[in-house]
Structure 1
Amino acid sequence: MPVTPKLSVVMPVHNGERFLAEAIESILSQTYGDFEFLLIDDGSTDTSASIIEQYAAQDARIRILTNSVAQGFGGEKASNSAYKQARGQYIAKLDADDIAYPQRLERQLNFLETNPDIFLVGSWLTLIDTQGKVIGKRRYPTDPDDIVREFYYRNCIGHPSIMFRNNVITDDFYTLRFAALNDYYSHFLHMQAGLTMANIPEYLVKYRVHDSNTTFSGLKRQWLTNVGIKQSFVDDFGYRPPLTHRLTMQLITLGIRILPEHLLMRIMNQARKLLNT
């Protein structure tokens, strides 16, 4: 492997022993192999550190970064530090409970190489449960203008699927303003700064849904954070979403405030199946 790899893959890990081996192996078995793999043990108290060390002993592409205390923010603070240490021309992200399809890195790298005006590329996501069973799909707009237009309605970038150009952002990649969902806020900031994002219309990452997943736990709290981020788009940057998007968000917010959380989870899961998103 060259001293300076073309690509850096970053995976923050905090008590991820349950799914960690499968996530690591999905990267090590990629069809594209010229990468360094930065595995961050972010203050884990389970066997994550041991799992990481076992794989590092077998594959020289792995670099271990260690935080004695968890940095919080869903791994985004730890990732900020890792991104700054990444040596690749491009950086890809995967979480420790998700799975990359074998051609993920190759497909995204080829896309960025042939589209020099694109800063960051994501992909569609396959939703899986704790057993790896497919429970849904999530599609996103692919055109940069459509992504900007729809960004108030939803985060159009699947965070575990991102790959972006290194050394474009000199400050932290994630601005840690909110208790959660700072990837959503930070992607918006990058677009406001003139950086262009796109999605490949292929399912390149399996996104795992489980009880400790931050997106699918504490729905009321998560939604209020989501709404606060959306409002910051409007208040701080003058973003003007379509009226239908604003009305839809207001109706959803009303329902979430009224309904009990266990019922909300049931409704959300059913809606995802029906919408196939």
Structure 2
Amino acid sequence: MSQGTSSRQRHRNIVSIIGLCLESRHPYVISEYVDGQCVKDFIKRGGGLLNWPLRVKLLTQIADGMAFLHSTKPPILHRDLRCANLFITERDIVKVADFGLIHLTQPLRSACREEDCCCQGKYSACPPSISWTAPEVFAHPNSNESDGFITKAADVYSFGIVMWEIVMCEDPFDEIGSTKEVIEHVLSGGRPEIAGNAVILPQYKTLMQSCWDRDPENRPTFKQICVRMKELLFQARSFQKSIYNRRLKLQKDLSVKISRDSTSEPLNNTSSELP
């Protein structure tokens, strides 16, 4: 994040930066206060109660915010897009936060030579939460944006993981033990697993997988994602209605079965108990 960033980001779906200090040993940013909660907490509390139109509405606002950041001159890359860095206000407005902070931390992390330090100096181009990081960033773990390896497409990859996160309501790659194993898994083409019993809108799944495509050139832009999201909202409403009707039918069939079973049971022979 450059010192001019705060003057370039004013958008409904962006947390406004009020000021920043780069002169201290520990750089810090002052941002607007968001009266609400992070999306990570929101989806974990909601769990299976999140319906498809709501999921798409959340992601539409995220995509709108990211499209704005990428449209600035020069573009602002987030580089750490995940549900923990997204906030939802009391009025249900989603705001993208913590964008570009890696610009402040990367020089400090690069200077660290401790092997077991939390700075992860040898992965200075990657955020500490590496499970949302694109494979091309892993392939060049100490590069800068000026090197040409870290582009807008890296944020699109992270958005694809966020789409998965909003469906599964958990962190990606939790089953993998170490940072090194996650990096190797992603570089070899691995992506977060979709549970076999997960009910996913087909068009949503297609978009998610295109966002985390191995080749950055094959990923859509956020401008394209915004268009797709608006189309998805109509499909999500229809899909949610079909899920509701299917559940209603299952409940009705179960009630009929229970009723039949109860009426078909033979009466107990109690004649021996009579005097």
> What is the TM-score with the length of structure 1 in the denominator?
0.29
Q: Which has the larger radius of gyration?
A: 2
Greater fraction helix: 2
> What is the TM-score with the length of structure 2 in the denominator?
0.29
